[in-house]
Amino acid sequence: MSEQQHMGFEAVIGLEVHAQLQTASKIFSPSSTAFGAPPNTHVDPVCLGMPGVLPVLNRKAVEFAIRMGLATHCRIAGRSIFARKHYFYPDLPKGYQISQYELPLCEHGYVEIEPEQGEKRRIAIVRIHLEEDAGKSVHAEEYVAGDETLIDLNRCGVPLIEIVSAPDLRTPREAWLYLAKLRQLVRWLGICDGNMEQGSLRCDANVSVRPVGEKKLGVKTELKNMNTLRGVEKALEYEISRQIAAVRRGETIVQETLLWDADRNVAVPMRSKEFAHDYRYFPDPDLVPLVIDDAWRDRIAAELPELPDSMRLRFTRQYGLPEYDAAILTEERELAAYFESAAAEARDVKAVSNWIMGDVLRVIKEEKISIAAFRVAPKALAELVNLITEGVISGKIAKQVFAEMLENGGTPKQIVEEKGLVQISDSSAIEQAVADALSAHPAEAERLRNGEGKLIGFFVGKVMQASRGKANPKMVSELLQKQMRG
Q: Which residues bind other proteins (CB under 8 A)?
A: 45, 48-57, 84, 86, 88, 90, 93-96, 151, 278, 280-282, 285-288
Whether the CB-CB separation of 326 and 312 falls below 8 Å is answered with: yes
Q: Which residue, 45 or 358, is less far from other proteins as judged by CB?
A: 45
Using only C-alpha atoms, the chain has a radius of gyration, in whole angstroms, of 30
Q: Which residue, 137 or 432, is less far from other proteins as judged by CB?
A: 137
Q: 149 — phi, psi (to 5°)?
A: -130, 135
Q: Which residue, 89 or 110, is less far from other proteins as judged by CB?
A: 89
Number of separate helices (H) and strands (E) present in the chain: 16, 16
d(Cα 456, Cα 481) in Å, to the nearest integer? 7
Q: Where are the alpha helices (DSSP H) in 189-251?
A: 229-248
DSSP 362: H
Whether the CB-CB separation of 109 and 124 falls below 8 Å is answered with: yes
Q: Which residue, 287 or 429, is less far from other proteins as judged by CB?
A: 287
d(Cα 180, Cα 177) in Å, to the nearest integer? 5
Q: Which residue, 262 or 287, is less far from other proteins as judged by CB?
A: 287
d(Cα 97, Cα 86) in Å, to the nearest integer? 6
- Residue 279 CB, nearest approach to other proteins (Å): 8
Cα(first)–Cα(last) distance of the chain, in Å?
A: 59
d(Cα 261, Cα 170) in Å, to the nearest integer? 23
Q: Which own/partner pairs from 322-331 qualify as long-range (CB within 8 Å, at least 24 positions apart)?
A: 325/350, 325/353, 325/357, 328/357, 328/361, 329/353, 329/356, 329/357, 331/184
Q: Which residue, 54 or 217, is less far from other proteins as judged by CB?
A: 54
> DSSP letter string over 123-174?
EEEEEEEEEE---EEE--TTT--TT--EEE-SSTT-EEEEEEE-S-B-SHHH
Q: Which residue, 109 or 157, is less far from other proteins as judged by CB?
A: 157
State whether the Cα torsion 99-100-105-106 is positive or negative: positive
Q: Which residue, 277 or 468, is less far from other proteins as judged by CB?
A: 277
**Amino acid at position 51, single letter:** P
Whether the CB-CB separation of 77 and 292 falls below 8 Å is answered with: yes
d(Cα 358, Cα 170) in Å, to the nearest integer? 33
Q: Which residue, 94 or 333, is less far from other proteins as judged by CB?
A: 94
H/E run at residue 181 = helix 172-188
Q: Which residue, 197 or 278, is less far from other proteins as judged by CB?
A: 278
Q: How far is CA 156 from the centre of its chain?
A: 26
Residue of 252, 278, 254, 214 whose CA lies nearest to 84 = 278
- Residue 49 CB, nearest approach to other proteins (Å): 5
Burial of 398 (0-12, 13-18, 19+ CB in 10 A): buried
Q: Which residue, 97 or 467, is less far from other proteins as judged by CB?
A: 97
Q: Which residue, 45 or 395, is less far from other proteins as judged by CB?
A: 45
Distances (CA, A) of 243 to 14, 210, 415: 16, 9, 62
- Residue 56 CB, nearest approach to other proteins (Å): 6
Whether the CB-CB separation of 369 and 397 falls below 8 Å is answered with: no
- Residue 300 CB, nearest approach to other proteins (Å): 21
